[in-house]
């Protein structure tokens, strides 16, 4: 049967979601724990990678086993084994057609920027930025990102396959000196959210006019936006399925 896991993790403690040869990953931590619990080799499939330092509040993965462990029990024993930097928030037994990556229809990322005085206790969880930014200009620039576009400007050089993506919504909450960018799309290219946030901040500080975002997109050239915001502020917030 197929199990679906939903989880949070602190990306500061992992070299990304995906298993690596040397460094500790979320995938390896989970697979090692599940292999011990099921007493058979377990391979998990995530909804997608997250990079080193990137956090998750709603990452999803699936795996198969011929053994049935009731979800509540599995959640409890798995959480004990993976404590403290990953927490499973939900376990479900799902249809065999469910696939964590292929069945995903939308993903939501949040990116948190603090314009308050630097606080070392929040280093891993925010991008700290100066406060000389114009929020209304950022909001104007954000409108150019929404919709269906060829995001080739934000793709790796020589990226294979389509670079067309649809951004369903891109909003900004501002409260107590914390800017939370919320972006929902049908898919994201590698580093795309971090490049977009970086550009929005440059618009905010007056380095570009908001309308320049449209030009950058139309240029379809990675060199037009050679900026990537720190992974520390990025959260995979939710993966949506039908």
The footprint of a copy of itself (CB under 8 A) covers 8-10, 55, 57, 79, 84-87, 89, 117-121, 123, 125
Q: How far is the CB of 45 from a copy of itself (least distance, A)?
A: 21
Structure tokens, 124: 């891993």
Q: Is 151 exposed, middle or buried (0-12, 13-18, 19+ CB in 10 A)?
A: buried
- Does residue 10 carry a catalytic annotation? no
Q: Is 226 exposed, middle or buried (0-12, 13-18, 19+ CB in 10 A)?
A: exposed
Among 10, 51, 95, 134, the active-site one is 51
- 196 and 154 Cβ atoms separated by less than 8 Å: yes
Closer residue to a copy of itself, CB minimum distance, 88 or 192: 88
For 30, phi and psi rounded to 5 degrees?
-70, -45
Q: How far is the CB of 121 from a copy of itself (least distance, A)?
A: 5
Closer residue to a copy of itself, CB minimum distance, 40 or 116: 116
Eight-state DSSP code of residue 229: -
Report the C-alpha gap between 73 and 71 in whole angstroms.
5
- 116 and 108 Cβ atoms separated by less than 8 Å: no
Q: How far is the CB of 9 from a copy of itself (least distance, A)?
A: 6
Closer residue to a copy of itself, CB minimum distance, 7 or 155: 7
Q: Tell me the pairing of strands 178-185 and 104-114.
A: antiparallel
Closer residue to a copy of itself, CB minimum distance, 51 or 140: 51
Q: How far is the CB of 231 from a copy of itself (least distance, A)?
A: 14
**Which of 78, 89, 122, 104 is closest to 230 using CA atoms?**
122
Q: So which residues are the catalytic ones?
A: 51
């Amino acid at each position: 049967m197929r199990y679906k896991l939903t989880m949070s993790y602190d990306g500061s403690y992992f070299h990304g979601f995906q298993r690596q040869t040397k460094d500790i990953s979320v995938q390896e931590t989970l697979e090692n724990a599940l292999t011990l619990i099921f007493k058979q080799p377990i391979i998990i499939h995530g909804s997608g990678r997250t990079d080193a330092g990137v956090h998750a509040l709603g990452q999803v993965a699936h795996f198969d086993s011929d053994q049935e462990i009731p979800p509540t029990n599995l959640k409890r024993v798995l959480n004990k084994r993976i404590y403290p930097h990953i927490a499973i928030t939900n376990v479900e037994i799902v249809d065999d057609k469910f696939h964590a990556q292929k069945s995903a229809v939308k993903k939501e990322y949040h990116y948190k920027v603090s314009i308050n005085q630097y606080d070392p206790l929040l280093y891993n969880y925010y991008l700290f930025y100066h406060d000389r930014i114009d929020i209304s200009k950022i909001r104007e620039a954000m409108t150019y990102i929404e919709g269906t576009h060829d995001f080739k400007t934000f793709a790796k050089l020589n990226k294979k396959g389509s670079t067309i993506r649809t951004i369903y919504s891109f909003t900004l909450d501002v409260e107590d000196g914390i800017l939370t960018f919320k972006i929902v799309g049908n898919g994201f290219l590698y580093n795309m959210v971090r490049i977009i946030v970086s550009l929005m901040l440059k618009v905010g500080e007056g380095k570009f006019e908001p309308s320049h975002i449209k030009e950058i997109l139309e240029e379809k050239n990675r060199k037009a936006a050679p900026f990537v915001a720190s992974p520390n502020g990025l959260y995979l917030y939710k993966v949506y399925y039908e």
